A = this chain, B = another copy of it.
Amino acid sequence: MRAGLALAALALALSLALAAWRRRRRPVREVLFFPSPPRCTEALLAEAAGSGGAARPCPCPLPRGDCALGRLLRRLLSARRSLELCLFAFSSPQLGHAVCLLHRRGVRVRVVTDAQYMGLPGSQIGLLRRAGIQVRHDQESGYMHHKFAIVDRRLLITGSLNWTTQAIQSNRENVLVVEDAEYVKPFLEEFERIWEEYNPVNYRFFTQRQ
Contact = CB atoms under 8 A, between A and B. Distances in A.
Contacts of A88: 160
B146 A172 contact: yes
Interface string A5-29: 0110011001000000000000001
A36 B3 CA distance: 63
B170 A141 contact: yes
A172 B160 contact: no
Given A142-B35, A142-B170, A176-B176, A160 B183 contact: no
Contacts of A50: none
Interface in A113-143: 138, 140-143
Tell me whether chain A's interface is mostly helix, strand or loop, or mixed: mixed
Interface string A144-166: 11111000000000111100001
Interface stretch (A54-62, A75-83, A101-109, A186-194): A186-194
Chain A interface residue count: which class? 35 or more
Interface of A: 3-4, 6-7, 10-11, 14, 29, 31, 33, 35, 86, 88, 138, 140-148, 158-161, 166-167, 169-174, 176, 180, 182-183, 186-187, 190, 194
9 contacts: A3-B3, A3-B4, A29-B180, A31-B187, A33-B190, A141-B170, A143-B171, A143-B172, A148-B160
